[in-house]
Structures are given as structure tokens and as C-alpha cells.
Structure 1
Amino acid sequence: ALLALLSLFAAPASAQLMVHPTRIVLEQNQRSAQMEIINNSDEAATYLITLVNRRMDEHGGFSEVDEPAAGELFADPMLRYSPRRVRLAPGAGQVIRIMARKPAGLAPDEYRSHLLFAQQPDPIGTRDAGTT
């Protein structure tokens, strides 16, 4: 069975997150992989990491999937990853570990899901103007 995990990231223009590699393919008996993320901005940033299922259209755009279409197979039920939230100083990196738990009798096909890296608002220093 071929199990593919494509990684995407969502980050505002004010923060730059480098992701390497951007595509991970787990083949045959391979059960784990890792990727590295690096905060390439001048400010610390916190990212929430989640698994999502997306569908690519004919123009290369992605849309969320609520219900799989015929023939769409997703990897999210078989994947575990850590950490799920990370705070990175400027220039700092973090390894994301990914593990696949393939069930017995898994049909040989491509199962695809995406990692989403969403920058979280920084609660530090966000006081109201009138507060002391």
C-alpha cells in the first residue's frame, strides 16, 4: 500500500515558516518519517499543527473535504504526529515526527492527507490601550 502525506502550511505574510520536506511518501513497510519546520522571521511565532483533508481542483487550488468523493482515500485515520503545537524563536527549528499505523488488510492505493501549520495569535503584550 502506498500512503502519501502532503504537507501544506498557512502562515500570514508577517511570519515565514519554512517546511522541509514539503511532501512525505510512506511506502510498503515504512512506518515513520519526519519533517523540519523553521521560523524564518524576525519574531517568535506559535503554530498549531493539524491534519486536514483537501481536494485539488483542475487549476491546482485546494478546497476542504467534508465528505470523500468516490475513489478519494485519506490517510488521517492512520497518522499520528508530534508535536501538535510549537512556539519557535526567530531562526529556530523543530522536527515534526509522523507515524503511520496501517491496519491489516489495507488495500493497496494512495491515501492522502495534509498537515496544516496555522500561526496562532500571540497573547503576550496584547493589553487594551487603557489598561495599566
Structure 2
Amino acid sequence: MQSANANVALSKFRIYFDNKTRSNSLQIRNTGAEDVKYTAELALNNMTEDGSIYSVGEDQYDATKFLRFSPKRGTIAPGERQAIRFALRKPQGLEDGEYRAVMRVISELAPTEGGNVNLASKLAYNIPIIVRHGEVFVESSLEEPSVVMHNGLPHVEVWQTRTGNRSLYGNFIVEAEDGTEIGVLNNVATYRPLQRRKVLIPLQNPVKGPVTIKYVENSKFGGSLEDSVNLTIN
């Protein structure tokens, strides 16, 4: 299970369909001592250049129309699991590229015999769903690296460019001249149709001198791109 709180754990933080995948599933496990109710729905979102996610009502790369899933609601007993199963049915003539949706899961403790429920236990999860179709491609570069202060701590700031018909998803590492890792930021997405995104990588062990910022896509989700850029920290 990848994502957890006091009452619920989710088996995945990202649902991915490549050209050969037609079904997938997400497991919800009740890790608490009381029944948990959940509801699930498909939604859409977009991303700003600083990486912020916001909800939208429509999207030209909408995957919700291709997806069916069930069950949409239920109650899970303590220690038990519920699988939400997805089926993908792409229409004829679909343009090559990547399409997206979000699975929004809302969980809360089930009411007690007296009808009471702790509203503070109500939690929402947003799991990206990526659907790729036909020939997909992407090009990217790392540009304008610098050191900035963010929330009172030093970060490496770099812009990641993106062109093509799919998004990017991978990990950033900042290495000192001797190969020591001084900053790491994992699971960073740059969604289509963004042409660039600002990335802030926290520096764990600040140094002075030449450093290299490396990017490696996550191969588990259909990526193989690698890139790097150099920076001198004064």
C-alpha cells in the first residue's frame, strides 16, 4: 500500500494505461478499528507552471469518457480491502497521444449505532489516471538553473520544458562535483499541454561550487528520458 493515513491505505498513487492495457485496479484498505465509508468519482484537473493543480470542468485531453469503474461507493470493515476496477474503452479514430483523468476517493468513518460520525475523519485522495494511445513522444530540457530561498530554506530552481503529445513524470537529483547527492525530489509531473514547469529541489546538504542537476523519467510509467544541466553555486 502506497498512501496511508490513520484509517485508509491506497495501493497506488498513479494509475497508468499504456497501449496494451485495457483494465486496472485500485485497492482501498481499512487500516483502522471502525468501518470506513468511501465514494469514488472521476474528475479533471490541470497544472500551472509552478506545479499547482486545479480542478477544471472540461479538458481537450479528457480520459473520463473512455473509463468505466466500479464500485463507486461502499463500506469497508476494519482490516478489509475493496478493489475499484477500471475498464478502458477507447473510441475509434482517437488521436494519438496522452489523455488524463483523476480518481477522487473520499473516505470517512461510518456512522456509529447512535448515528454519529467524526467529520474530522473525512479525507479526500486524488489519484492521477494516465491513458496513452498510439505513438507518443516527448522532448524536454532543463533550463535556467539557480539557487533560491523557499520557505526559508535553500532550493535549486530549474525550469523543465516539454514538447510532444505526452506528459513527463520522474525524479530530480542534485549532485556535487564528487557525486554526493545534495538534493532529491521524486515523482514530479509536467503535464501536457504545459510547455514548461518550474521545479524546486530542496538542498539537504548545501555546498559551493559546481553541481549537476539530473532528471530521470520513471520507467514504470512509460518514460525513458534522461537530462541534466550544470550550475555553479557561489
**Range of TM-score over shorter length:** 0.7 to 0.9
Distance 1:43 1:122 in 2: 7
Which residue does the alignment assign to 2:62? 74
Which residue does the alignment assign to 1:51? 42
Which residue does the alignment assign to 1:126? 115
Distance 2:104 2:90 in 1: 22
Which residue does the alignment assign to 1:32? 23
Using the TM superposition, name which of 57-66 and 81-90 deviates more.
Answer: 57-66
Distance 1:56 1:115 in 2: 16
Gaps of 5+ in 1: 1-8, 128-132
SS of residue in 2 equivalent to 1:107: coil
TM-score by length of 2: 0.43
Match of 1:16 among 1, 7, 12: 7
Provide closer, same or farther for how the CA distance between residues 60 and 32 of structure 1 changes in structure 2, counting only shifts above 3 A. Answer: same
SS of residue in 2 equivalent to 1:77: helix
| Counterpart residue identity of residue 106, structure 2 | A
Distance 2:58 2:25 in 1: 28
- Report if the CA contact (8 A) 2:44-2:58 is conserved: no
| Counterpart residue identity of residue 35, structure 1 | L
Let me know the Cα RMSD of the aligned residues.
2.3
- Report if the CA contact (8 A) 2:75-2:110 is conserved: no
How big is the shift at 1:88? 0.6
SS of residue in 2 equivalent to 1:53: strand
Larger Rg: 2
Write out per-residue CA displacement over residues 88-130 of structure 1, whole angstroms, 9 at most, x where no aligned residue: 1122111111001100111111110011111257444227xxx
Provide closer, same or farther for how the CA distance between residues 67 and 59 of structure 1 changes in structure 2, counting only shifts above 3 A. Answer: same
Residue identity (%): 34
SS of residue in 2 equivalent to 1:118: strand
SS of residue in 2 equivalent to 1:105: coil
Distance 1:43 1:59 in 2: 39
Distance 1:67 1:75 in 2: 10
How big is the shift at 1:56? 2.5
TM-score by length of 1: 0.73
SS of residue in 2 equivalent to 1:91: coil
- Report if the CA contact (8 A) 1:36-1:94 is conserved: yes
Provide closer, same or farther for how the CA distance between residues 24 and 67 of structure 1 changes in structure 2, counting only shifts above 3 A. Answer: closer
How big is the shift at 1:48? 0.6
Gaps of 5+ in 2: 117-234
How big is the shift at 1:35? 1.7
Distance 1:63 1:16 in 2: 26
Please state which structure has a larger fraction of its residues in strand: 2
